[in-house]
Amino acid sequence: MKKYFPYITRPILVLSLVSLFTDMASEMLYPIMPVFLSSIGFSVVLIGVLEGFAEMVAGLSKGYFGQLSDVRQKRLPFVQLGYFLSAISKPMLALFSTPVWIFFSRTIDRTGKGLRSAPRDALLSNATTKENKAKVFGFHRSMDTFGAVLGPLIALWFLACYPGQYQTLFIIAFIPGLAAVLFTFFVKEKAGIPQQKKIHFFSFLSHVKNADGSYKKLLWGLLIFALVNSSDVLLLLKMKSTGVSDVNIITIYIFYNLIYALSAFPAGIIADKWGIKNTFLFGLILFIAVYIGFAFVNMEIGYWILFFIYGIYAACTEGIAKAWITNIVPGTSAGTAIGAYTGLASMAAFGASALAGVLWAVFGPEVAFGFTACVVTVVVLYLMRVPAATKA
């Protein structure tokens, strides 16, 4: 690989494998969690509260741990502990089925995500240059998303052979999770000089307030997008409402992840040549097209086409957004900048899904998807005025 892709260094490859195995473990469980929780007596409301609380924990902690890694100028301990917590949360779900224990296990898992996300991305950024940054983030997203393809396939195969054996699947998911933790010990980090300052849990918000204008402009655009970028569950619900079978819905969603995984690395290569900003805006234009399509398409073949485009959109935006952020902030504050973005975006996602759900219930899916497409069009026009990088 080094011969053809010299910028994919050992730390980048190892961190990408770590993400692949972790996502494989998580995505084994994601499709069956609602079914499992229902089987042990969780109501729909309690499932919503559980997932909402878990994601809130992850979202809020991303900013704090990202900034803490900046202050200490050491990322790897956060990465290792974060992946460890996520790994052990999987078999914990198999031990007891009481609501308190399930809440505790899911919170441990999401705390792990909050711990590792921004420090890991800062590690990736430190291993790049501005000339190859999008390639590296694209490669990482590609490997991560391959895990999202393999995980559900393994879960579907296992449950087809052993129906209802959810606890066993939780234990199996621990295997790739543990592999991810072990891989982190092959990453070496050169620690920087710690910053002499004290922070609290919400200090990253003060950092955002006092940050460079280019970063704040970009952050506002990304957060407005997050405020209308509702959960993919609504896209799946639209397919369900037009008669697509459950098996085909899962198959189409796996297909989307496969397209995303195959496209992320090439999208990064293109972004480093064409421009990170241009690639990201192109991705948002694809997003607009997909949401307009979902407002009017009612045929299964149309959903296959839309999810193909949706996979390319994700490849052009997910990792590319982080590459854009790290191009306009100093390396010493990359953890805070990425953590603030991902944390606030996670919180905004709650509002996005709630708003889309209300619009759907009151006016129908056409208005819900159409409203999102209109707002994102405004976001594209706004982001065209944001710098692609700081001046050298």
Ramachandran region, residue 41 (left: φ > 0; alpha: ψ -120 to 50; beta: rest): left
pLDDT digits (tens, 9 = 90+) for 218-247: 999 999 999 999 878 789 889 988 888 877
Distance (Å, rounded) from C-alpha 236 to C-alpha 246?
9
pLDDT digits (tens, 9 = 90+) for 286-302: 999 999 999 999 999 99
Distance (Å, rounded) from C-alpha 355 to C-alpha 365?
12
pLDDT at 2: 59
Are 233 and 343 in contact by the 8 Å Cβ rule? The answer is no
Fold exhibited by the domain 10-185+204-383: Growth Hormone; Chain: A; (1.20.1250)
Distance (Å, rounded) from C-alpha 339 to C-alpha 322?
10
Task: For the chain, give the number of residues.
Answer: 392
Give the rounded distance of the alpha carbon of 84 from its chain centre.
18
Those residues of the chain that have pLDDT short of 70 are: 1-4, 31, 34, 43-45, 47-49, 51-52, 390-392
Long-range contacts of 99-108 (CB under 8 A, 24+ apart): 99/42, 99/46, 102/37, 102/40, 102/42, 102/50, 103/50, 103/53, 106/50, 106/51, 106/53, 106/54, 107/53, 107/54, 107/57
Hey, what are 230's tokens? 């509702």
pTM for this structure?
A: 0.87
pLDDT at 391: 45
- Residue 275 half-sphere exposure, CB side, CA atoms within 13 Å? 9
Distance (Å, rounded) from C-alpha 130 to C-alpha 141?
18
Residue appearing with tokens 């991810």: 180
Q: Where are the domains of the chain?
A: 10-185+204-383
Long-range contacts of 152-156 (CB under 8 A, 24+ apart): 152/27, 152/28, 152/30, 152/31, 152/250, 152/253, 152/254, 152/257, 153/254, 154/24, 154/28, 155/27, 155/28, 155/29, 155/31, 155/32, 156/31, 156/250
Are 16 and 139 in contact by the 8 Å Cβ rule? The answer is yes
In sequence order, what are the residues at sequence separation of 6 or more whose Cβ sits closer than 8 angstroms to the Cβ of residue 87?
A: 22, 25, 112, 174, 177, 178, 180, 181
